[in-house]
Every structure is written in C-alpha cells, then in structure tokens.
Amino acid sequence: MTAPFSTSPPYPVVRLQPKANARAIRFGAPWVFANELVLDRRTRKLDPGSFAVLEDSARTPMGVVTVNPESKIIARMMDPDPNAAIDHDWIAARLRRALALRTRIYDAPFYRLIHAEGDGLPGVVIDRFGEACVIQPNAAWSDALIEVLTAALVEVTGVTTVLKNAAGRTRSLEGLDDASGVLHGDAPTEAVAVQMNGAVYMADLIEGQKTGLFYDQRPNHAFAAGLSRGGSVLDVFSHVGGFGLAALAGGATSALCVDGSAPALALAERGAQAMGRGDALTVRQGDAFEVLTAMAQEGVQFDTVICDPPAFAPAKPALEKGLRAYERVARLAAPLVAEGGVLGLCSCSHAADLAQFRTACVRGIGRSGRRGQLIHTGAAGPDHPQLPQLAETGYLKALFFHL
C-alpha cells in the first residue's frame, strides 16, 4: 500500500496569489481554485492528488492541501497543521470521529459514514450498508490512496465488504476514470434490505444509482409519511421507492411510484412486498415529464404528490436551465394534488440555492393555477453534516406546500 507520493513532511510548497482570499481559507473555506494559486512550472508538475503545504502570498504556512493541477478546484485543505502526515492513522482518526457521530444518532449501521468535506475527508463519500461500505473517491488523493483508505475503513468499522463506485461527473472533473469494483471482501449477490422510517428499501450496491440508496432524504421521507396517513401518494422520480414506501409505512392507503428505471421500480416492488404492502404499491415506468402530462390528461389526483428529480443544476452554467426544469416540475405536478393536499418538491442541485429553488417552485405552482402555503422546509439528515464554509455540503432542499 505504498502511496504514489509523499504522505508525510517535508511536502512541496504551493502559494496563493495576492488576490486570493486567504482570510476565508484561514476561517475554514476548504477549496482553492486554479485562478487563486500561483501556477508556476513546479506546481503544474505535481502529481494529481499529491500533498503540499499551502502558503499565503506572504509565505506564511496555512496547512496541508491536496493538489490536482487537472482540476478547477486545484487544492483542497486536508489539515491546518502544515506538519500533518496524511497517512493510514490520519485517515483512521477521521473515520473514527465520523463513526462516533453516526452511532450516536442511529441504532443500525445504515447511513452515510463520510460526507466529504463535511467530515474532513475532501471529495470522499462513503455509505454504509450493514457489513458493506461503498466508497466514492471523488478527489484524486482518495483515488490514489484507495488501498490505504480501504484498510483504514475495514479497521475502524469491521465491515467485511468494501466496494468502489466510480460513476458520476465529479470524478471526470478531477480527471479520474469510471472503473468501479470490489476493494475488499466479496461483492454482494443480492440487493441489501435497508430499514428506514419503518419502510424496507432494497439497495443494489453494484448496479444501482450512486451507492445504491439515497440516505439524505431520510428525514424528509419521515415528514412525508406523517402527512400521507390514510391518503393516496404519487412518488415521481421515485428511484427504489423513497417517498412512496415511506408513505406506505406511515399508513398511506396506496402509493404510485414513477421512474425511468425498470430495475429501480422492481426494487421498489420488492421493498413493498417485504413490508407486507405489496398490494398497495403500483409502479409506472417512463419519462417523468411525459407521465405527469399524461396523468393531468387522465384527470387523476392524489392526496400527496412528491417529486424528487435528479440534479437539474449540478453546476453554475446549468443554473438557469435547471431552475426552468424545477419550475416545470412544479407546474406539471401541482394539478395532480387534490384540494387540500400536499405537494413536495425536492432539489439536490449544488448550484441552485434554497431561495432560487423556492422561487422556481412557487412560480411553477402559480403557473398551474394553484396556490400553496409553504408548510415545511427540509434538508439532508445529520449523517450528511454541513461544513458551514462550503455551501455544496448542504445541497439538498425539500419544500412541502399545502395546496
């Protein structure tokens, strides 16, 4: 498990330009962009993921950063101690701290264990599914040190299986490949049953989206479940039945899950069967916008409608287009809510902040001819801790309107 670059001092030095906001970094901002760093020939030749000491323009050390000359985020703060060794023990200490928080909150080992910068491991996402963990090493340093990271993870948690998920645009922005695989133990041959809020979700850790399940919506699932008791529910962009199964667990009479993925809907059906509510769940595969349009023409309505689409605005260049898409979702979904019912609208877009997303939703509801009271604003659960200096760690937004 030899690292391809030095993981202990002395490190090479990289330096901020005079115009860079060194004060923000000293107070916890974790990222340095390419236009903020002195890009001399020596800095450009650093291996992606390698460690360096970051200095301000006055040559005062600010801490150890990981450097990737191929990324717009050219440096990420690892440790404010410029003499820190970023080795097995350092990683294990971060993992232990994260594990202590999760075991304090949750009774069962099903949660996001590492939420990247929010847990002090830049670019790293680790979701735990009982005796298995799925790692998304989305920063070059974690990809280069994946064996060290895996060994520390097994040591700290005692899991028997560790998988690598290399899908997603984030890795491509870091210049990394998309090769997923087994890092430790054996790949699971069946979907893993995960219990949350009284519902059972079937997580496919190998072929499923992201790590196999979205833990971030757990508190919003619970809120929706409380609203759905005794009523009908429409869950659009449902994946493996996130809101629909939670609603059935909460006492909904029926739930219809809509998604473009047949395998995801099949897992939703398996989850409902495991809960003993298989007869109360129906699924409909298709493009969500087309299905919403068709349902309006069919004249159907539901007591609760929830839409949890993918990130329409994953980055600033897509912001305006993404906000229009969120507005469209709201406009198409609102007519499907029965009088006095509830419409839930979600966004996992980093680039759209809460105010922008809320404005798009309200505009869409208004364009549909409906009026709504905002009754709840939700975010990700405590296993997705936010770094206050990095808005991207608080990406999830959920709005519930009484129409």
> What separation, in Å, do the N-terminal and C-terminal C-alpha atoms of the chain show?
57
In this structure, what DSSP letter does residue 206 have? Answer: T
Task: For the chain, give every residue range classified as CATH 3.30.750.80.
Answer: 88-184
**Which of helix, strand or coil describes residue 231?**
coil
Q: Using alpha carbons, list the distances in angstroms from residue 382 to 95, 102, 113, 144.
A: 16, 8, 10, 29
Q: Tokens 């809960």: give the residue.
A: 275
* Closest alpha carbon to 359 in 313, 402, 324: 324
Which tokens belong to 285? 């595969």
The token duo for 219 is 């508190």
Ranges for all domains in the chain classified under CATH 2.30.130.10: 13-79
Q: Shortest CA distance to 349 belongs to which of 327, 328, 331, 326?
A: 326
Predicted pLDDT at 210: 83
CB 202 within 8 A of CB 267: yes
126, β-bridge pairs: 114, 135
268 C-beta neighbours (distance < 10 Å), count = 27
Pick the CATH number of 88-184 from 3.30.750.80, 3.10.150.10, 1.10.260.30, 3.30.1490.20: 3.30.750.80
CATH class of 210-402: alpha beta
Q: Which residues contact 177 (CB under 8 A, 6 or more apart)?
A: 166, 171
The segment(s) of the chain belonging to CATH 3.40.50.150 are 210-402
- pLDDT at position 193 is 97
Question: What per-residue confidence (pLDDT) applies to 6?
Answer: 87
Q: Which of 307, 346, 348, 361 is catalytic?
A: 348
Q: Which residue has the tokens 């001819």?
A: 369
What is the C-alpha to C-alpha distance for residues 253 and 105, in angstroms, rounded to an integer? 30
Is residue 110 within 8 Å of residue 139, measured between CB atoms? no
Q: What contacts 59, CB < 8 A, 6 or more positions away?
A: 15
> Helix-strand-coil percent breakdown of the chain, rounded to 5?
35, 25, 35
User: What is the residue-level pLDDT of the chain in tens, covering all 403 positions?
Assistant: 567 788 999 999 999 999 999 999 999 999 999 999 999 999 999 999 999 999 999 999 999 999 999 999 999 999 999 999 999 999 999 999 999 999 999 999 999 999 999 999 999 999 999 999 999 999 999 999 999 999 999 999 999 999 999 988 889 889 999 999 999 999 999 999 999 999 999 999 998 888 889 999 999 999 999 999 999 999 999 999 999 999 999 999 999 999 999 999 999 999 999 999 999 999 999 999 999 999 999 999 999 999 999 999 988 899 999 999 999 999 999 999 999 999 999 999 989 999 999 999 999 999 999 999 999 999 999 999 999 999 999 999 999 999 9
pTM: 0.95
**Which one, of 147, 127, 139, lies nearest residue 30 by Cα?**
139
Task: Report CA 345 to chain centroid distance, whole Å.
Answer: 17
What are the φ/ψ torsions at residue 194 (nearest 5 degrees)? -120, 125
Provide the token pair at 394.
Answer: 């608080």
Answer for the pair 197, 256: CB distance below 8 angstroms, yes or no.
no
Is residue 348 flagged as an active site residue? yes
User: What are the DSSP calls for 283-329, one per residue?
Assistant: EEES-HHHHHHHHHHHT--EEEEEE----S-SSGGGHHHHHHHHHHH
Q: What does the angle CA 159 – CA 176 – CA 160 come to, to the nearest 5 degrees? A: 10
CATH architecture of 13-79: Roll (2.30)
Strand partners, 397: 347
Residue 1 has what pLDDT? 52
Contact status, residue 241 vs residue 272, Cβ threshold 8 Å: yes
pLDDT on residue 298: 96
Would you call 326 exposed, middle or buried from its count of C-beta atoms within 10 A (0-12, 13-18, 19+)?
buried
- The whole-angstrom separation of Cα 110 and Cα 130 is 6
**How much is the pLDDT for 28?**
95
